[in-house]
Amino acid sequence: MDMIFFKGVATGLFLSLPFGPIGIYCMEKTLVKGEKEGYISALGMVTVDIIYGLLAYLFINQIGHLILQYQSFVKVLVGCFLILIGYKKIKANIEIKDISHENKSLLQDYLGTLVICLFNISGILAIAGIYATLNVGLTGDHAGFFTPFKLASGILTGGASLWFLTTFILYNFKKKITNLMLIKISKLAGFFILIFGIFAIIFAFYK
């Protein structure tokens, strides 16, 4: 398996950090409704990550020569963007949605988060930033016909694996997990994004 798959896995893992209202919603659904319901809901987000990941890849391929020409500047810009996202997630006032009265099928759980996440167009920018940092499509990754499929399978593997682990832990320790802990987990994910942004800026000047 070549590096493009592992870059996809890294992208999927990063995008599936449980930050933001949808991530909190999926964690809360796991605690209230069950492990399967929470996981299926999270897969709706992962599906959107794959769709936007492929769109971002096509975008990177179109302007790859410009990114290579101004690679350091792009990575600094990406780093600043990630730091801003992380900071906003840390400072955000997160509200836990009451889902105790929801009665949805697994298909509704999946489609519900998928549709909501599709309207988060800024996700494409975040993915493009991750690709620029990881040099996805800039170092010969675009040469193969099956590269988009490898990238998509990597994002699926990373995202689905992390959310499987997340929902498994939450469900099996749900008696010890409170809403306040969920908020802290979300803010911790925002902290990791901020740190990733700092490293992106540092490595922009590392040859």
pLDDT tens string 116-152: 888 877 677 777 777 777 777 655 555 566 788 888 9
d(CA 137, CA 63): 10
pLDDT score of 65 more than 70 = no
Cα separation, 133 vs 127, in Å, equals 10
Is 183 contained in some domain? no
- Dist CA 201 CA 205 (whole Å): 7
- % of the chain at pLDDT higher than 90: 14
Q: Give which of 68, 46, 85 is closest to 136, Cα–Cα.
A: 68
Q: Quick one: how many helices (H) and strands (E) in the chain?
A: 9, 0
Residue-wise pLDDT for 67-92, tens only, equals: 666 667 777 887 787 788 778 777 77
First to last CA, the chain: 26
Residue 134 inside a domain? The answer is: yes
pLDDT score, position 68: 60
In a domain, 77, yes or no: no
Q: Are 174 and 77 in contact (CB under 8 A)?
A: no
Structure-derived torsion over alpha carbons of residues 103, 161, 158, 6, reported in degrees to the nearest 10: -160
32 domain residue, yes or no: yes
Residue 61 lies in a domain: yes
Which of residues 19 and 42 earns the better pLDDT score? Answer: 42
| Residue range 56-71: mean pLDDT, rounded | 69
What residue numbers bound the domain in which 158 lies? 3-71+95-178
Task: Tell me the pLDDT of the chain averaged across its residues.
Answer: 79
**What is the Cα–Cα distance from 22 to 30, expressed in whole angstroms?**
12
Question: Is there a domain that residue 100 lies in?
Answer: yes
| 202 domain residue, yes or no | no
Closest CA to 35 of 139, 167, 196, 160: 167
pLDDT band with cut points at 50, 70 and 90 for residue 154: very high
Please state whether the predicted TM-score (pTM) of the whole model is above 0.85. Answer: no
Q: What is the average per-residue pLDDT within 49-57? A: 87
How many domains does the chain fold into? 1
For the record, the structure tokens of 102 come out as 């929801």
pLDDT reported for residue 187? 81
What is the C-alpha to C-alpha distance for residues 27 and 130, in angstroms, rounded to an integer? 24
Tokens standing for residue 100: 């105790």
Please compute the mean of the pLDDT values over residues 9-27 and round it to a whole number. 82
Whether 86 is in a domain gets the answer no
